[in-house]
Amino acid sequence: MKITIIGPDNSRLIESIANGKKVSLKGYEVFVDDAYEKEKKLKRMNESAFGWTTSICVSVVTAILTTIVWYIALR
């Protein structure tokens, strides 16, 4: 089993885990097996989709504004 712990760099946490002491994981994210890789992949996909939709929205707004400016100019 693979455990990935994401959080503040704290050498005492690692030392306590290695020595079998009780630890508090408050402020940390704990992932088991390949859950961390799946989470990173999902975040990348969401960021990619956000960039794609933002690009489309900017293009549509630009086209609308250009149409309005031409309409006013040719009036």
Domain residue limits at 48: 2-74
**Overall domain count for the chain:** 1
Question: Which pLDDT score, from 0 to 100, does residue 46 have?
Answer: 76
**Average pLDDT value over all residues in the chain:** 82
The pLDDT assigned to 51 comes to 66
Q: How far apart are the first and last CA of the chain?
A: 71
pTM here?
Answer: 0.49
What is the pLDDT at residue 9?
A: 77
Dihedral, CA atoms, 17, 23, 25, 26, nearest 10 degrees? -150
* pLDDT: which is higher, 10 or 20: 20
List, in order, residues 6 or more apart from 16 with CB less than 8 Å away.
22, 23
Percent share of the chain, pLDDT over 70: 95
Q: Which of 50-54, 56-60, 66-70 has the lowest mean pLDDT?
A: 50-54
